[in-house]
Chain A
Amino acid sequence: MHSKLKAGYAILIPAFFIYFFSESVLRQSAVANVEPGTMNVDSVIAKLPSGLREAFSYRLDVSKLRDAIARAPNDVELAVLYQNLADILRDPLEKEDLYYKALNLIPDQPEVSRAYTYFLLRKEARMTISIPQYHRYIAKLPPPEQFYTWNAGLATMRAAKMPIQDIYGYLAPLASERPAYRDFRRLYEELADISRKMRRSDMEERAKDLEDYCFDLPSIDESLSQDLKKKIQVLQKK
């Protein structure tokens, strides 16, 4: 019986090696039949089953961004790429590290708004941006970016399930500003809702007034397209 078992192994183990080796040769032969250039990485990934496609797309996106980081021409570009990579990375430590690098590279610039939003009230992180710090940063931004940054900050606080008092403290300064775009209406609506819950009727009234005021304003998209048209007209005149 023992000798039969040995004989079985003596046949099976080489059979496995031969199976793997012959499969590898046949795979290479099949791949060699494919015309170079007809299958690029994106088209190959698109043909994979959905579960595999997501995993490979992720790796491809990460490797493309790492290559772009290595070739970044200036600090602004580098900071944007750091944040782009951090947005998609699954490793929380590396993600945080990249946002931190971006923030230190060009502090207070409009391009690092995502890093500011990431560190907003994040106590366990290597740095924390307080609400007053975030407000000071927003004040330095051009008006369209201001809206997106307000919104991103609110979304971050909601995702972190911050107490309603903190969200009120975050949105309250909006009541003392005149909005520039119709898009701000959502933020005033939110402020009015929170004020009502906190029984701050004066703030609720003010937020509702500003919400109504927003209706007559142009949206960010409309405003940007008008600016673009003006620029085109100037260029055409030239």
Chain B
Amino acid sequence: MFAIAELSIKKLKEPAFFIMFLTALLLSYMFSEVDPLSDQTAAGSLLSQVLKSDRGYSLLTSSFFAFTITVIIAVFTGATDIPRDIESRMIMLIMSKPLKKTEYLMGKFLGILGLCAIFFFSTEFVILIAHYIKTHEMYSFMVIVRQFYLFLALLPLCALSVTVSCFLPDLSAMIITAVYLLFSISFSTVPLLVAMLPSGLAGAFESYIFVFYYFFPNFVYFFQTCHVVGIVPLFLLIYALSSTLILLAIANVRIRTRDLI
């Protein structure tokens, strides 16, 4: 399983990945001093209130930027890895080893997560160092820890791209994952708005919205301002793990039943 993960992580040595990695580091240095994310949204909007910084530690825009770059890597790599193994018959070679399909899937997931972790943490460290170079001050420990919590959002995201890749060929999987993500982001504030309406106003309609909404992980929760220790970080972890588990379970059912030739 870890050997499979290692195969994915080794992609970083490929020139395209390496150039992208260096570009991400360079850009994160350039964007390190942008105002917090809560200042980037329209004043008074729902999102600005969810992200506002007076109730804990808010997310830095540069961290959001690092996250966005990592999302691109997760979608492009996660959605193409398994279909390319199948297309190139590499999977037959791998399956000839004493390895279960579930272990192969978990290896792919961990590999993509590892790749994303390298991208995310490297860009974050560059942001912290750039801030120190530019201002001769370090961010407080709590602010730094809060930025690293964003990594939790990458768990369901990597699981999502791996799951979609178990169903579709590489290009289709990439497009569907991107569309799914965009839809998930655009729909993310709707349940918050519905939750703010007086009870009973939405009626049965509310149930339909939530049934539909539960099919999409809500990434806005990972961006909200929160304390480093408390209920919100704990439930962010639980939310990330549970949604990842559900997505990987779906992927597991698919990969165990599909024809790999």
Chain A residues with CB under 8 Å of chain B are 8, 11-12, 15-16, 18-20, 22-23, 25-31, 33-35, 38-39, 41, 44-45, 47-49, 52, 55-56, 59-60, 63
Contact = CB atoms under 8 A, between A and B. Distances in A.
6 contacts: A11-B245, A22-B238, A34-B49, A44-B193, A59-B203, A59-B205
A48 B224 contact: no
B49 to A, nearest CB: 5
Given A30-B221, A34-B46, A34-B196, A11 B190 contact: no
Interface in B158-205: 189-198, 201-203, 205
A26 B230 CA distance: 12
Given A20-B214, A60-B201, A25 B190 contact: no
Interface string B49-78: 110100100000000000000000000000
Contacts of B193: 44, 47-48
Which of A20, A26, A34, A56 has the most chain B CB atoms closer than 10 A to its own CB? Answer: A26
A186 B250 CA distance: 66
B198 A41 contact: yes
A29 B232 CA distance: 7
Contact of A16 (B44, B231, B235, B246): B246
Contacts of A27: 191-192, 195, 218, 221
A26 B240 CA distance: 11
Contact of B209 (A41, A52, A63): A52
Given A38-B44, A55-B205, A22 B239 contact: yes
A31, A35, A55: residue with the most chain B Cβ atoms closer than 10 Å: A31
A158 to B, nearest CB: 34
Contacts of A48: 190, 193-194
Interface of B is mostly: helix
B130 interface: no
Contact of A31 (B195, B202, B214, B225): B195
Contacts of B214: 19-20, 23
Contacts of A22: 235, 238-239, 242
Interface of B: 44, 46, 49-50, 52, 55, 189-198, 201-203, 205, 209, 214, 218, 220-221, 224-226, 231-232, 235-236, 238-239, 241-243, 245-246, 249
Contacts of B197: 41, 44-45, 56
B246 to A, nearest CB: 5
Nearest to A9: B249
A26 B49 contact: no
A46 to B, nearest CB: 10
B245 A15 contact: yes
B203 A33 contact: no
B189 A47 contact: yes
Given A15-B249, A39-B196, A47-B46, A30 B224 contact: yes
B196 A31 contact: yes
B132 to A, nearest CB: 30
B86 to A, nearest CB: 23
A89 to B, nearest CB: 15
A29 B246 contact: no
B245 A26 contact: no
B237 to A, nearest CB: 9
Nearest to B238: A22
A25 B249 contact: no
B221 to A, nearest CB: 4
A52 B231 contact: no
Nearest to A28: B195
Contact of B239 (A19, A41, A47, A60): A19
